[in-house]
Amino acid sequence: IDCSPQRLEGRLSLALSLTVHLYLLLGMTDWNDLPVYGIDKELRAKQDAKYDPKAEGEARQWVEAVTGERIHGSFHEGMRDGILLCKVINAIRPGSIRNVNAMKQPFFQRENISKYLEACKGLGLPPHDIFNPDDLYDGKNMILVIQNIFSLARQAQSMGFRGPSLGPKLSEANRRQFTDEQLRQAAAAPTFISQGSHGKATQAGQFDTSRNIVKTQAPATDVPTRQTMGSYGGATQSGQFDHSRDIVKTQTGGASGSVPSRQTMGSYGGATQSGQFDRSREIIKGPKQV
């Protein structure tokens, strides 16, 4: 095996070239921070869509107004070394950062950013407004960097900073004191739960009365209601019973000359009682001959 320095250098160069091509084929970034691919590209596109150039311009103007220095180049390039951020902190609270490195090496620039972030925590900024040094130095999340600057400006106003302002003022606590009488009245007042879900509803509507039996009172004229009239419109109680099979007793007329009914006349029309007996076998006795 040839282990000469020239041979080893050639093999090392070949391995390095294959590694770079493999990173590019897999959709990853190379060491020179070339454009990303794959899922990293999608994440970067979503992050860029949320970026607000107007907010960046407002943060840029505020930093320039507080420090009195102009930001050269883009916002990321001008803030990358962390020097202006340290000057902003010292303008709000003098002496917070005593040693600011002006060297161009990445180590010293990252150190300036770290000192700035520690000073922000000391001023009371919430944790969700604190970014990572790589977010600014590598430009990975400039949205969070701008958010941090807005949060620092609000906190400075609440501390009594007399310099330029940025964004809305930080809300302050507004404590109220109530007397014992007011507390008792509030405790006795009905709540919205007891009033129902309808606006200003009372407890009268909390029960279902749709199936209650309503008892009506008859008027003075004694007019029958539909309940007593049956299911037919205008019907009376006289038609609620079946009289088709009742036995009807008829009454004869006067004492003399009574009119026979059909029951006394038999089943034949106009028949009398004389035909109601069988006389076909009776023995007829005729008159005696002289």
Q: List, for residues 76-123, the tens digit of each pLDDT value.
A: 999 999 999 999 999 999 999 999 999 989 999 999 999 999 999 999
d(CA 107, CA 194): 66
Give the pLDDT band of residue 44 (cuts 50, 70, 90): confident
Q: CA–CA separation, 26 vs 37, rounded Å?
A: 8
Confidence of residue 206 (pLDDT cuts 50, 70, 90): low
- % of the chain residues with pLDDT over 90: 32
Helices (H), the chain: 5-25, 38-49, 53-67, 75-79, 83-92, 106-123, 133-137, 142-158, 180-188, 192-195, 226-229, 262-265
Higher per-residue confidence, 160 vs 110: 110
Q: Mean pLDDT across the chain, nearest whole number? A: 75
The predicted-structure confidence for 229-283, as pLDDT tens digits, reads as follows: 555 555 555 556 667 777 777 665 544 455 555 555 555 555 555 555 666 776 7
Q: Is the whole-model pTM more than 0.75?
A: no
Residue that wins the pLDDT comparison between 228 and 166: 166
pLDDT at 82: 94
**How sure is the predictor about 220, in pLDDT bands with cuts at 50, 70 and 90?**
low
As given in the structure block, the two tokens for residue 79 are 């803030």
Q: What pLDDT is attached to residue 248? A: 75
pLDDT at 127 over 60: yes
Q: How far apart are CA 30 and CA 23, in angstroms?
A: 7
pLDDT in tens, 70-85: 998 899 999 999 999 9
Report the C-alpha gap between 201 and 193 in whole angstroms.
10
C-alpha–C-alpha distance, residues 57 and 60, integer Å: 5
